[in-house]
């Protein structure tokens, strides 16, 4: 492979660390266990119950460690001079000779060109690329002196400190915007945003007339909650507190049978498909049309509000969204709630903004009785919502839409500034190696993508959740993806963690137990030794 700078292979300058703790005179219990993450590099992971720590690798001082199955996205880190610890054999740990400045090497491997080379040499053709130490040795490294490496690294760090200071300020601005958006929503549901409108429209149709409309599926009129039952904040005199269950209909999804999930049919909306303010169909299952039967009541409609009943809150907000035309057709799976309503009583965007307000989120009752943080439809039904007349709701929505559009424009500008700053650092690296490198990693990635091939899928739902060795005994040679999906590690609710556990187990079976091996000349396939 041609590069626009003079290079040499890394294999003559790196040495893998494979010192098992059991072969050394160590107080194993006094040592911490480490792993590697993309964001933080080498981090403490803790000691898992039942793990034989004597089989773990021990290392100390400045070393580089990486996850061979996630290094292609930057899961690699460097330890310091005073480091001492244990790490699973699932990771690769190595040291460098005196010709390599180790911080420069780490910077190089995490740069765009370095990641491109990692993808090139680590493509195994399986579920995820894997970079073995021998693959790492084939990576092209700039053929420059140690001092030249150090000078560049020191210069880079000086520039990075300035960029980091600017990024820190931009992060503060992002946090301020998030607070501003929450403040706008809270002001909206308290009636503060529409104060001027109420003054200009004193003869607005009274709320009582709207409340006398019959509920959708019964002859009952809407009940009013006594103001004394809700003391979160005061509301305008023309508003009323109403139970959500009286104002809307809340429906849990249907327990579609997972063995019948298909690659075609009608989409099933699962809780993992609900993100903050959007539906994510990147991980989708289908249900055959023939098996739908009399389940039409679980079909979703445009403008339905859907909320995840399991793990409803994540760090950045509530897992809730509004169904759009592009999301249809789809059906509601169990553990997802659909909130349907009459637009004559409540504007769907006003309702959606209330769900995302501090008032709703801070009063959400999250339980953990089934081992998963969850909310119940009954709790949702009992929530009290401050309800203004319908015309005032529409005015509030109009004001909020404009405010949120302004906030989103500022957020996009901040995101662009952050990207430009990061690109500035990357361009500094690119110029050091030559302008042609801008396209180098793109060529590498494209070449790898073009190496796709068709294969016979041997996945069987009859042999699932099994040990890797047992699966290979049952099926013979298997592609890594099929082996993963039938293994005990497969978890559709947590794909990333599932793949990590699978490859950690596979690496142990290949390198430690020698019970499984890669099929020679058949990329991505595995068999028993």
> What are the DSSP calls for 327-386, one per residue?
G-SEEEBTTEEEEEE-TTT--HHHHHHHHTSHHHHHT---B-TTSS-B--HHHHHH-EEE
For every residue of 248-265, DSSP letters joined together read EEEEE-B---GGG-BSSS
| Strands 240-243 vs 330-332: parallel, antiparallel or unpaired | unpaired
- pLDDT score recorded for residue 510: 82
Per-residue model confidence as pLDDT tens digits over 22-68: 999 888 888 999 999 988 999 998 777 667 889 999 999 999 999 99
- pLDDT score recorded for residue 85: 94
Joined tokens for residue 310: 């399991």
For every residue of 48-84, DSSP letters joined together read PTT--GGGSEEEESS-EEE-TTTGGGT-EEE--TT-E
- pLDDT score recorded for residue 31: 92
Helix and strand totals (H; E) in the chain: 15, 24
CA gap 40, 369 in Å, rounded: 33
Residue with tokens 């520039």: 159
| Strands 84-87 vs 33-37: parallel, antiparallel or unpaired | parallel
pTM for the structure as a whole:
0.64
- pLDDT score recorded for residue 315: 75
3-state helix/strand/coil string of 392-415? HHHHHHHHHHHHHHHHHHHHHHHH
Residue with tokens 């499984």: 516
**Cis ω before 147 (30° cut-off from 0):** no
- pLDDT score recorded for residue 94: 97
- pLDDT score recorded for residue 125: 58
Q: Which of 441, 443, 451 is nearest to 123 (CA)?
A: 451
Q: Which parts of the chain sit beneath pLDDT 50?
A: 1, 214, 216-219, 228, 230, 435-454
- pLDDT score recorded for residue 220: 56
């Amino acid at each position: 492979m041609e590069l626009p700078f003079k290079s040499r292979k890394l294999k003559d300058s790196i040495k893998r660390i494979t010192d098992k703790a059991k072969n050394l005179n160590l107080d194993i219990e006094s040592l911490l266990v480490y792993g590697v993450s993309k964001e933080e590099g080498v981090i403490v992971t803790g000691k898992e119950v039942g793990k034989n720590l004597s089989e773990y690798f021990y290392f100390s001082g400045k070393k580089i460690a990486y996850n061979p199955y996630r290094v292609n996205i930057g899961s690699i880190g460097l330890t310091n001079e005073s480091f001492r610890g244990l790490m699973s054999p699932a990771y690769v740990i190595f040291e460098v000779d005196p010709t390599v400045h180790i911080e420069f090497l780490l910077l190089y491997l995490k740069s765009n060109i370095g990641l491109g080379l990692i993808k090139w040499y680590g493509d195994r053709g399986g579920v995820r690329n894997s970079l073995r130490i021998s693959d790492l040795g084939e990576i092209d490294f700039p053929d420059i002196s140690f001092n030249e490496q150090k000078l560049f690294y020191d210069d880079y760090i000086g520039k990075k400190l300035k960029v980091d200071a600017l990024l820190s300020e931009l992060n503060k601005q992002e946090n301020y915007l998030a607070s501003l958006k929450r403040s706008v929503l809270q002001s909206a549901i308290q009636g503060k945003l529409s104060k001027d409108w109420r003054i200009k429209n004193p003869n607005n149709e009274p709320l009582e007339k709207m409340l006398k409309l019959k509920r959708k599926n019964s002859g009952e009129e809407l009940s009013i909650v006594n103001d004394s039952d809700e003391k979160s904040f005061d509301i305008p005199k023309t508003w009323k507190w109403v139970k959500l269950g009286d104002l809307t209909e809340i429906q849990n999804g249907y327990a579609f049978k997972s063995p019948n999930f298909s690659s075609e049919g009608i989409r099933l909306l699962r809780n993992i498909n609900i993100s903050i303010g959007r539906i994510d169909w990147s991980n989708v299952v289908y249900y055959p049309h023939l098996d739908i039967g009399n389940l039409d009541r679980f079909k979703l409609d445009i403008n339905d509000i859907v909320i995840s009943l399991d793990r409803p809150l994540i760090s950045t907000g509530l897992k809730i969204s509004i169904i759009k035309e592009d999301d249809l057709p789809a059906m509601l799976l169990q553990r997802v709630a659909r909130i349907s309503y009459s637009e004559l009583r409540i504007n769907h965007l006003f309702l959606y903004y209330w769900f995302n307000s501090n008032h709703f989120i801070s009063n959400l009752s999250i339980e953990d009785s089934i081992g998963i943080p969850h909310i119940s439809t009954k709790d949702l039904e009992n929530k009290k919502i401050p309800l203004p007349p319908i015309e005032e709701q529409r005015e509030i929505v109009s004001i909020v839409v404009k405010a949120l559009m302004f906030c989103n424009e500022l957020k996009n500008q901040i995101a662009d500034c952050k990207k430009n700053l990061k690109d500035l650092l990357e361009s500094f690296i690119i110029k050091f190696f030559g302008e042609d490198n801008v396209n180098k990693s793109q060529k590498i990635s494209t070449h790898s993508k073009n190496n796709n091939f068709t294969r016979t899928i041997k996945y069987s739902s009859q042999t699932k959740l099994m040990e890797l060795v047992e699966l290979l005994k049952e099926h013979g040679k298997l592609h890594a993806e099929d082996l993963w999906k039938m293994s005990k590690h497969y978890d559709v609710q947590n794909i990333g963690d599932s793949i990590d556990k699978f490859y950690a187990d596979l690496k142990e079976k290949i390198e430690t137990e020698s019970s499984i091996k890669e099929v020679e000349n058949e990329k991505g396939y595995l068999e028993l030794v």
